[in-house]
Amino acid sequence: MFEKINNDLKVSMKEQDKFSLNVLRMLKSALQLESINKKGDLSDDDVITVIKRQVKMRTDSILEFEKFNKASEIETLQKEIALLKNYLPEEMSEEEVDKYIGEAIAKINPTSMKDMGTIMKELQSIASRTDMSMVSKKVKDKIMSL
């Protein structure tokens, strides 16, 4: 994935697509920083995590800009998010997420909220393909209903 981003960066340079070039440069910087922090090469899952972090930062910024009616900034951020999402794998459906949650709960057999961390650790394998805050909420609801 890192190579694909680098290649797309080069294409943006050749085509003089300044918008894509700026977004991909920011992404590449974030990936290089993560690589330095990990003291090694990034796996595809690491790259996905960084991209999701970048999308979340922009989503949070949109919420702030909406408070001040900054329409042009919001539009720019939405375009950046759309570009970044091209590099993310397809999100899992809600049914698939529920299936994984059900399997994790069956495997761990939680008795209280204290077991939520263990269940979430078990579900880390799907982190790159779904929103973990939504998963966390669903797990919490399921444990509460036991």
pLDDT in tens, 55-76: 999 999 999 999 998 999 999 9
Render pLDDT for 123-137 as a digit per residue (tens, 0 to 9).
Answer: 998 887 888 889 999
Q: What are 27's two structure tokens?
A: 């992404």
Q: What is the mean pLDDT of the chain?
A: 93
Q: 76 and 13 in one domain?
A: yes
Q: 54 and 29 in one domain?
A: yes
Per-residue pLDDT band for 146 (boundaries 50, 70, 90) equals: confident
pLDDT of residue 75: 96
Q: 77 and 129 in one domain?
A: no
Q: 20 and 81 in one domain?
A: yes
C-alpha closest to that of 54 among 25, 21, 95, 19: 25
Which of 61, 85, 109 finishes a domain?
85
pLDDT of residue 91: 86
Burial class (CB in 10 A: 0-12, 13-18, 19+), 51: buried
For residue 6, give its domain range.
2-85
Q: 64 and 21 in one domain?
A: yes
Which residues neighbour 61 within 8 Å (Cβ) at sequence distance 6 or greater?
73, 77
Mean local confidence (pLDDT), 103-132: 90
Which of 35, 58, 85 finishes a domain?
85
Render pLDDT for 28-45 as a digit per residue (tens, 0 to 9).
Answer: 999 999 999 999 999 988
